[in-house]
Amino acid sequence: MILEKIDQLAREWLEEAGNRIFMALEQSTVEVEAKSDRNDLVTNVDKATEQYFAEKIATYFPDHRLLGEEGYGEEITSLEGIVWILDPIDGTVNFVEQKRNFAISLGIYQEGVGELAYIYDIVGGEFYYAKRGEGAFVNDVEIPKLAEDNKLEDSLVIINTTAIRKFPQMLSVIQKARGLRLYGAATLEYMAVATGRADAYVSANLAPWDIGAGKIIAEEVGAIVTRVSGSEMVITEKGDSFVASPSVHREILRFEI
Ligand code: IPD
Ligand code: CA
Ligand code: CA
């Protein structure tokens, strides 16, 4: 019952937030600031979007908690109760430089279990959604389960540059694969694997808001999500991330990274 209510409101709020982001691009009201370094960007639109969700959640669900990138939620180290994990704009560098290839990402966790997930690629017009155990969808069309027998040699892989530097064996993975692709937004890279447009995505350092929704959607179609070592990924802890179709996940693990 509570999840139905969350689903109904989350969709309304995502649509409204998406419209506001679109208008900010159209009307050129985006103001950019650097955070930890000159390539770590945030804009007034990232902040306003997270603040919008924070206010809505506090009004409609005062006992739920928000874990968001821009600090309008709470410091969260455990997922007790219901936690909304939000990245108001994933791919802020793309948002600023390309005005596309970014997304709002929202995952809903109940007692640590990922129940609902939304990734909204506003300019691309793709709305990804999953409910645990009920499948994953893009624009209301069900995403087929991933094949169990894909081979790395026939696959496109997405491996970010920091991961290539940190795990040099990734060069051999890339050499064996059909090709390398980089999109610059972790959520859309997760969705590339979930929809079979790539077979693996490796990143050296992702935060809970980068993967909160993507993990739920990817697992719903049968992708395997772990750390690069193959160990379990704890969603509240920052670290490396490795998502792939099942057989390609096994094949890449054999490189002993
Ligand atoms: C970043 C993007 C990028 C990934 C970074 C993230 P942001 O998120 O997802 O693709 O490589 O690690 O921090 O800062 O644009 O929300
Ligand atoms: Ca992000
Ligand atoms: Ca962000």
Q: For 82-125, how does the pLDDT look when each residue is reduced to its tens digit (9 = 90+)?
A: 999 999 999 999 999 999 999 999 999 999 999 999 999 999 99
Domain residue extents for the chain: 2-142, 152-253
**CB contact set of 28 (below 8 Å; sequence gap of 6+):** none
Residue 93 · residue 40 · CB < 8 Å: no
The pTM is what? Answer: 0.97
Q: How far is the CA of 79 from the centre of ligand 2 (A)?
A: 19
Instruction: Pick 2-142's CATH classification: 3.60.21.10, 3.40.50.300, 3.30.540.10, 3.30.429.10.
Output: 3.30.540.10
Q: How far is the CA of 83 from the centre of ligand 3 (A)?
A: 18
210 annotated ligand-binding residue: yes
Q: How far is the CA of 210 from the centre of ligand 1 (A)?
A: 7
Helix, coil or strand: residue 23: helix
Per-residue DSSP letter, 32: E
Residue percentage of the chain with pLDDT more than 90: 96
User: Residue 226: in which H helix or E strand, if any?
Assistant: strand 224-226
Task: Report the pLDDT value the prediction gives residue 39, as an integer from 0 to 100.
Answer: 87
d(CA 225, CA 38): 30
Nearest to 213 by CA among 2, 9, 14: 14
pLDDT at position 257 over 90: no
Ligand 1 atom nearest to 69, measured from its CA: 16
Residue 130 · residue 117 · CB < 8 Å: yes
User: Residue 213: in which H helix or E strand, if any?
Assistant: helix 208-220
d(CA 243, CA 227): 8
From the CA of 203, which ligand is nearest?
Answer: 1
Q: For the chain, what is the radius of gyration of the CA atoms?
A: 17
- pLDDT tens string 166-194: 999 999 999 999 999 999 999 999 999 99
The class of domain 152-253 in CATH terms is alpha beta
What are the residues facing 105 on neighbouring strands?
87, 119
The label of the residue with tokens 């007034």 reads: 44
90 annotated ligand-binding residue: yes
